Amino acid sequence: MFYRAVLAKKRSLLVSFAFVVSGLAFHTLAFSQSTEAKQSQHSETQNSLVEEVSRNVLKEADSFDPRSPKAWLERLAKQTKTQSYEVSFVLNIPGKDAQPYLWRHAVLEDETHIEQLSLLNGPGFEHIRVNNVVSLFQPGYPPYSIAGKAIDGPIPYALLYEPETLEQAYQFILVGRNRVSGRSAQQIRVTSRDKTRYGYQIWLDEETGMLLKLNMYGLNGELLQQIQVTQLKLDERIADIFKQLQRDSLPKAITVKMPPQRQHEWRLAFVPVGMRVVKQDIHQLAITGQVVEYSLFSDGLVNVSVYIQAASGAFQEDVNLNSGANTVHSRTNGKVQVTVVGDIPLVTAQLMAESIEVINPQ
């Protein structure tokens, strides 16, 4: 009798289990259906795919070629420059807190471009750009304005506005279509031509051409940084929001006195392909007051600073610091200390520092 009771209990358990099993089976079925759908999508010919994409973007310029990554980037630049939009995105660096941003841009009736970028967590900060003047509001500092073509946010400036300048250093490859932020997107892989820098994957919205996602990868394919758009809204009425902005009340643009540019007596024999000197000068460091000879290199996506200073004795061996994308490499020969700082792999920083050579004064 007791045994039968146990059996009955077991049976009720079995019945509930049967539900689980059938649920499972349904899942596998649904999954196999979706994979089938994907396969059939893949098996479509390239041409019909292209047609579909161009249909999606028919509002675009007549000469838009969805097969060319360059066309996609040009479209991105055109859209970010001319459209009125409101974008929410999250910057995620593995191991760190995610940082949510709000990014707005509008073109007013009088052709004024107004752009706004806010960090939404913590005390945050606020950038407002009116044409070519960027005002910065930060807690703890008096607000100020400086001249600038764009707000220097987490999304590289050159990618958004001047993609043509990146061609020397990077190659762009169309990877395929994907769904990102609930929209169909075109995926583009960006790699440096000499494989000395980090790689990127970007996803652009097919309908609007706007950026939806940007991933940065290390040399071994590890994810270093991620920008994910969570909301994208293109709306002429965003201009109305900016109309309320009292432009006169923004701080007046100050002119920053830059140290004069000069030609150093040294140069780097190795510089990654496509990297150019942006500025060279001698200045004092704000914190320690040390005097440094300075060069700023840039390929558009990343910036690398090279500092030459008299060896202070604090550095007796090489310094190699690497956290996420940021790298600091410093080496000294006892008299002179060379430091390379920037978002490049450590190997590249070392190569650059090693390649320093004195230019003959003659």
Partner 1 sequence: MTQQQEKLSAFLDGEGHDSDVINGLTSDAELADKWKRYHLIRDCMRNEMTSDLNFDISAQVASKLEGELPMVAPKPSWKELPVVASVIPLVKQSGQLAVAACVTAVMIFSYQSYNQPEESQPFLTAPTNGPLGGLAPVSLSSSNGVNRDDMARLLEQQRQINALIEDHQRQIRLKNAGNAESNQAKTTEGDELSEQTPPQK
- Is position 22 an interface residue for partner 1 (rule: CB under 8 A)? yes
Q: What single letter denotes the amino acid at residue 320? A: N
For the CB of residue 243, give the shortest distance to partner 1 in the complex, in Å: 10
Residues 194-253 that bind partner 1 (CB under 8 A): 233-235, 237-238, 240-242, 244-246, 248-253
* Contact pattern for partner 1 over residues 71 through 100, marking x by CB under 8 A: ---------------x--------------
What string of DSSP letters covers 47-113?
A: HHHHHHHHHHTTTS-TT--TT-HHHHHHHHHHHHHH--EEEEEEEE-TTS--EEEEEEEEE-TTS-E
Residue closer to partner 1, measured from CB, 65 or 265: 265
The owner of tokens 């020397």 is: 168
**Buried b vs exposed e over 331-341: b needs ≥16 C-beta within 10 Å?**
bbeeeebbbbb
Give 327's contacts (C-beta < 8 A, 6+ positions apart).
321, 340, 341, 342, 343, 344, 345, 346, 349
Q: Which of these, 344, 335, 343, 339, lies nearest to 356 by C-alpha position?
A: 339
Rounded distance between C-alpha atoms, residue 132 and residue 116, angstroms:
13
Binding partner 1 (rule: CB under 8 A), the pick from 9, 24, 50, 182 is: 24
What's the farthest any 2 CA atoms get from each other in the chain?
109
- Is position 5 an interface residue for partner 1 (rule: CB under 8 A)? no
Residue closer to partner 1, measured from CB, 188 or 227: 227
For the CB of residue 150, give the shortest distance to partner 1 in the complex, in Å: 6
Q: For partner 1, which stretch binds (CB under 8 A), given 40-48, 59-67, 90-98, 142-150?
A: 142-150
For the CB of residue 63, give the shortest distance to partner 1 in the complex, in Å: 26
For the CB of residue 118, give the shortest distance to partner 1 in the complex, in Å: 8
- Is position 59 an interface residue for partner 1 (rule: CB under 8 A)? no
Residues 302-341 that bind partner 1 (CB under 8 A): 303, 305, 307-316, 319, 321, 326, 328, 330, 335-336, 339, 341
CB atoms within 10 A of CB 66: 22
Binding partner 1 (rule: CB under 8 A), the pick from 49, 90, 108, 146 is: 146
For the CB of residue 20, give the shortest distance to partner 1 in the complex, in Å: 9
| Tokens coding 337 | 């200390």
Rounded distance between C-alpha atoms, residue 4 and residue 8, angstroms:
6
Residues 263-302 that bind partner 1 (CB under 8 A): 264-266, 278-279, 282-288, 290-294, 296, 298
Residue closer to partner 1, measured from CB, 18 or 50: 18
Residue closer to partner 1, measured from CB, 24 or 173: 24
For the CB of residue 233, give the shortest distance to partner 1 in the complex, in Å: 7
What string of DSSP letters covers 181-207?
A: TTEEEEEEEEEETTS-S-EEEEEEETT
Query: How many residues belong to the site for partner 1 (CB under 8 A)?
Result: 98
Q: For partner 1, which stretch binds (CB under 8 A), given 14-22, 42-50, 73-81, 193-201?
A: 14-22
- Is position 132 an interface residue for partner 1 (rule: CB under 8 A)? yes
Residue closer to partner 1, measured from CB, 31 or 65: 31
Contact 127, 155 (CB under 8 A): no
- Is position 37 an interface residue for partner 1 (rule: CB under 8 A)? no
Q: What single letter denotes the amino acid at residue 265? A: E
